[in-house]
Chain A
Amino acid sequence: MIFPYAVPVLSLSLMAVLTLPARAEMAPLEDEALSKVAGQGGIYLSGDISINEMGGPVENAYFGRCDETDKKCGARFAYRLKEDGGWMVLDEIRGLFAFEGLTLRVRKIDSGFGGDGELFDRDVIELGLPDTVRFTDVHFKVAASSTARPTDPGFIQTDIFAVQMQGDVIMQGNLLVFPDGNP
């Protein structure tokens, strides 16, 4: 295989960020602390991500393109916490997210933070949050369903509530991720 590792590695590293023991500090770095960052490098990410802007790849009795008014064109996520139980559903997931300046790097913290940095003295993964994330027509529904697929026999779904988001979200500071506890 030519691309055997990259996707799982990226997804796992993201998973690690989301699930492993982590501490986040939102305080701006002092100049002294910034000076320690020199030469460590990293990447600066900008762009936009859309989910089902025109619809998804499934076309059946339930899903269709977004200009088909009698069909759902968003993505659907269903899971269940009980064997042979019902399914919790996030349905009709759509939207556009745009951001500028998400940074990623590894750095050592051994100063700053009001003196705590010197005591901390460790390497961390730093996610520099973008100042602004723009949400455009982001929406989804929370529902309960009798089956995982809306095309399964006996499908019944109860929509509980819908969420719609529009506008800018201010996200400043850095998210610092580092190992803690027994590995």
Chain B
Amino acid sequence: MTMTDARLSPAPLLLVSMVPVLVNPVAAMERLDDTALSKIQGQSGITLEMELNLSADRLSYYDDGKGVHLEGMRVGSSRGDEAGAFHRVKVDIGADASLNLDYLVEDRRVEFSDIRLAGAPGVGMGGIFFDHSLQGSLRIRQGGAVGGSGYTFDTAYTMTGGRLGYRTNGNSVFLDDITMDVQALGVTLDVVGDTLQLVSPEVIGNWSVGAIRYSNEPGNYGQSYSSATGLPLPSYGGLQGHYELSSVTDIRAGGRSGEGLRLDNETIIHTASFIYLDDGNGLALRDITGDYRIHDLRLDVSEDGRGRPAVALTLGGLQGNLNIGSIEVGSSGQSFGSLNLSFLLEDQIFNGRTYRNELYLQGGGHPDAGPQGLRMATEWSLRLADLSYTEDGNRVIFSGLQSWGSGDVTVNVTRNEVRNGTRFYDGLRIGFEGLEAGYRINGLRVGSDDAPLQGGTELLLALGFYPAYEFELDGHITLGAGGASGEGLTINSDIEIRDGKAAVIAAPYDEGNGEIAQKGLWLTEMTYDGHVRDMTLDVTEEGLAIGTGESWSTMDIGNVRVGTKDHGASMGRLRIQKYQTGSTALVKPGGAGDICVGGAGSSEGACVAAGGQWETRGSEGVTIDMVQVLARAEGDDKKNALMWESNRAVDSQGRPINNTGMKLLVNDIYTSDGGDFDGDGVEDNRFGIRTDLSVDVYQTRVTKKEDGPDAQGVVGSRGDEKIMSPGSAAGYRYVANPGPGDVANRPLGFAVKADTRFKELSINNIDLIHPVGGSQTVVYGAKFQNVDIRANLTATPIP
């Protein structure tokens, strides 16, 4: 059967969208129960068999006269354009007038070669293909959840040999070897007023993806092996998981304007897991539970804020909770701990502008990558979120996380080439164009959600995050298939940031009386130009391994301000340049374990005897082993250097003018192994700066530093110890001589065990640079050698 053009209005499209639910239902890792099975099997009826090969040049959906076209549609076999997919359906009518379908679908491919929007000629979103074999059953009974006019469905299916791919300009990324078993019993469909209501009281499923593959061969269309070499296509790794959930979905007619669809949904995740597999080694999120409510999600064919034709997804609100009971990586069986996220996505005013949650899907992608690709005009508003991390029973909450942003995100599958003047790399390219975004955290709470808000968000700096950050972003991250060995990821990235405002130290933005200007130590008028080449991510038996072929960046901070980000007084300009080659990091579950703080000893007795304090920090936590190889300068862009400029001239608006002041330049900082030991004529530089860092959430001793009341009005004497006391007004009290019961309630903080060592770290020169007189070298070289610094530090947030 062939169609050349088909037009769908919203109502038929709704029916079409239901087809997968009704015809391709659920897979059964879990078998139907006996009662359900007895009503489906063993009955006589009609058997239908067919080889289906259906194609249409274009399938169009129109909304208020605006169209989106699915071009090159085909339903057939993945074996070739001429082959059909085998379908067999056994139809029975049960004694209770139920319709029973047993079905078998072999090697079916559903594909669109491109998705285009009317009014956007010459560009498309790219093609999609979905291969699968299905075997399952479906029983349909009359009578829904609210009366006799609806329907009830019991369904179970197994999908095997699945492939789901996205293809632009001849390059594709696809999920390969998908298997899925799903069971959903008692699903009801009712019309309630103007609403089509779908209730799924229990959906149980298991799924796996054998590999996520990449192909840059135009002739290879959804095949697991390279047509050129016959070898398996490179893989990002595999996935697997399970879930058990229930949901209620309301579907109404009517978009954000005129025609369209509205969707509301409530889902409870009773249990789930998600595992990423790299050469058999897993990064596992286990014991997942949660719930979320989607409010007023609208689908329209419309235009974005700049008048570009788009498929619009606009969201009224999304609220939910997500708990991840355990995060594990590698073969040790150890866990990082657990995470909890509560979130509310909703319209909110940030910096005087209302941000919404909207996604406008358009064709084209990056303009130089070819006519096919996905462009998403994006706006988001995370009104409020709390993220908590718990390890060994100790919980820290990053409270009041907010984020906002708008701009274009592009998605292309690209290959290693220079095309139309732009450098592309093998992989899935995620591009950013004029993305204006920001986030901020109000403070920390320790122990429980209602604990007092405290400072300490600057502790996030240890993980590479600023407590608050606003920026304008351009650039890309390209995710290539294959890691340092076998499966994994290879990342190439070029990022530019303009007008950045990052907090190094940040006070709350809301102390309970409404929003206030956030005070702190700010890096403002910041630009950042960063590049990463051949960075690999692999899950290994030990943990998450990161290797970087080459990375270089320049961060130019116009002003280092104390106070607010807009009006704080400035310490001057800073420029930080970084250049590394061959750096690595290994992120492992488990923290410091049992350690001796303030002394030496491998047992509690030996530690105490040496004047130390024995601490058992548990089995969970995070350990990071880093090797940072600082390379010698290769020009002005690629080097490690620090520059501070002050006493600059100002323009007519009083803003400092760069390069008019006095500069201090610490130039060409690099590591070395201390000689040419391999005889290649170049000094070896492999050891770098090696840092082993273990972080735990752990109780710490905090003492009062002054007599009298503290900032919260809690009275104590100098030297008294702070003891958490939920019954107290401030949540704590001071104790002169804490007993064992008090010690058990010491405040929580971050305990860091670090060991940093390097063989040699050199500075080529330190110069003073006058804007007119030029540079004068004050230090002709400095060299640190044979350094091993070990630290046991505890950092506790304080109010």
Structural contact, A183 and B555, CB atoms closer than 8 A: no
Structural contact, B642 and A151, CB atoms closer than 8 A: no
Q: Which residues of the other chain, A, contact B79 by a CB distance below 8 angstroms?
A: none
Q: CB of B799 within 8 A of chain A? A: yes
Contacts A42-B798, A52-B788, A106-B505; A182 near B661 (Cβ below 8 A): yes
Q: CB of A49 within 8 A of chain B? A: yes
Structural contact, B571 and A179, CB atoms closer than 8 A: yes
Q: Which of B686-725 contact A (CB under 8 A)?
A: 687, 690, 700-703, 705-706, 708-712
* A50 CB contact (under 8 Å) in B553, B562, B784, B789: B789
Q: Which residues of the other chain, A, contact B760 by a CB distance below 8 angstroms?
A: 58, 149
Contacts A43-B795, A55-B788, A83-B780; A2 near B456 (Cβ below 8 A): no
Structural contact, A45 and B794, CB atoms closer than 8 A: yes
Q: Which residues of the other chain, B, contact A183 by a CB distance below 8 angstroms?
A: 559, 569-573, 646-648, 656
Q: Which of A148-183 contact B (CB under 8 A)?
A: 148-149, 151, 177-183
Structural contact, A79 and B779, CB atoms closer than 8 A: yes
Over the window 35-72 of chain A, the binary record of Cβ atoms lying under 8 Å from chain B Cβ atoms (1 yes, 0 no) is 10111111111111111111111101001000000001
Q: CB of A24 within 8 A of chain B? A: no
Q: Which residues of the other chain, B, contact A119 by a CB distance below 8 angstroms?
A: none
Q: Which residues of the other chain, A, contact B598 by a CB distance below 8 angstroms?
A: 47-48, 98
Over the window 775-799 of chain B, the binary record of Cβ atoms lying under 8 Å from chain A Cβ atoms (1 yes, 0 no) is 0011111111111111111111111
Q: CB of B413 within 8 A of chain A? A: no
* B795 CB contact (under 8 Å) in A20, A45, A82: A45
Structural contact, A20 and B571, CB atoms closer than 8 A: yes
Q: Which residues of the other chain, B, contact A177 by a CB distance below 8 angstroms?
A: 562
Q: Which residues of the other chain, A, contact B560 by a CB distance below 8 angstroms?
A: 16, 179
Q: CB of B574 within 8 A of chain A? A: yes
Of B56-64, B285-293, B361-369, B462-470, the stretch lying at the interface with chain A is: B462-470
On chain A, the number of residues with a Cβ less than 8 Å from chain B's Cβ atoms is: 84
Please, which residue of chain A has its CB at the minimum distance from the CB of B709?
Answer: A31
Which of A21, A106, A128 is most buried by chain B, counting CB atoms within 10 A of its CB?
A106
Structural contact, A38 and B563, CB atoms closer than 8 A: no
Q: CB of B189 within 8 A of chain A? A: no
Interface size class of B (residues with CB under 8 A): 35 or more
Q: CB of B459 within 8 A of chain A? A: yes
Q: Which residues of the other chain, B, contact A128 by a CB distance below 8 angstroms?
A: 705
* A4 CB contact (under 8 Å) in B464, B504, B508, B564: B464
Q: CB of A26 within 8 A of chain B? A: no
Q: Which residues of the other chain, B, contact A103 by a CB distance below 8 angstroms?
A: 705, 798
Over the window 92-113 of chain A, the binary record of Cβ atoms lying under 8 Å from chain B Cβ atoms (1 yes, 0 no) is 0000001011011110100000
Please, which residue of chain B has its CB at the minimum distance from the CB of A60?
Answer: B674
Whole-angstrom CA separation of A181 from B650 in the bound complex: 13
Q: Which residues of the other chain, B, contact A43 by a CB distance below 8 angstroms?
A: 455-456, 458-459, 795-798
Structural contact, B576 and A8, CB atoms closer than 8 A: yes
Chain B interface, >50% SS class: strand
Whole-angstrom CA separation of A81 from B553 in the bound complex: 29
* A35 CB contact (under 8 Å) in B661, B702, B711: B711
Which of B463, B703, B783 is most buried by chain A, counting CB atoms within 10 A of its CB?
B783
Q: Which residues of the other chain, B, contact A117 by a CB distance below 8 angstroms?
A: none
Structural contact, B789 and A31, CB atoms closer than 8 A: no
Q: CB of B568 within 8 A of chain A? A: yes
Structural contact, A80 and B781, CB atoms closer than 8 A: yes
Q: CB of B471 within 8 A of chain A? A: no
Contacts A75-B784, A183-B571; A1 near B456 (Cβ below 8 A): no
A182 CB, nearest partner CB in chain B, Å? 5
Structural contact, B790 and A50, CB atoms closer than 8 A: yes
Over the window 535-563 of chain B, the binary record of Cβ atoms lying under 8 Å from chain A Cβ atoms (1 yes, 0 no) is 10000000000101001010100011111
Structural contact, B791 and A48, CB atoms closer than 8 A: yes
Contacts A40-B455, A178-B562; A56 near B757 (Cβ below 8 A): yes
Structural contact, A31 and B576, CB atoms closer than 8 A: no
Q: Which residues of the other chain, A, contact B464 by a CB distance below 8 angstroms?
A: 2-6
Contacts A12-B642, A106-B507; A53 near B600 (Cβ below 8 A): yes
Q: Which residues of the other chain, B, contact A44 by a CB distance below 8 angstroms?
A: 700, 702, 749, 795-798
Q: Which residues of the other chain, A, contact B674 by a CB distance below 8 angstroms?
A: 58, 60, 149, 151
Please report A residues at the B interface, Cβ cutoff 8 Å. 1-10, 12-13, 15-16, 19-21, 28-29, 31, 34-35, 37-58, 60, 63, 72-85, 98, 100-101, 103-106, 108, 122-125, 128, 131, 148-149, 151, 177-183
Please report B residues at the A interface, Cβ cutoff 8 Å. 443-444, 453-459, 461-466, 504-505, 507-508, 511, 519-521, 523, 530, 532, 535, 546, 548, 551, 553, 555, 559-564, 568-574, 576, 578, 580, 583, 585, 597-598, 600, 624, 626, 628, 642, 644, 646-648, 650, 656, 661, 664, 674-675, 687, 690, 700-703, 705-706, 708-712, 749, 752, 757-760, 777-799
Known contacts A15-B642, A57-B758; can you find 10 more A-B pairs with CB under 8 A?
A9-B504, A19-B664, A40-B455, A43-B459, A45-B795, A47-B598, A50-B790, A58-B760, A178-B562, A183-B656
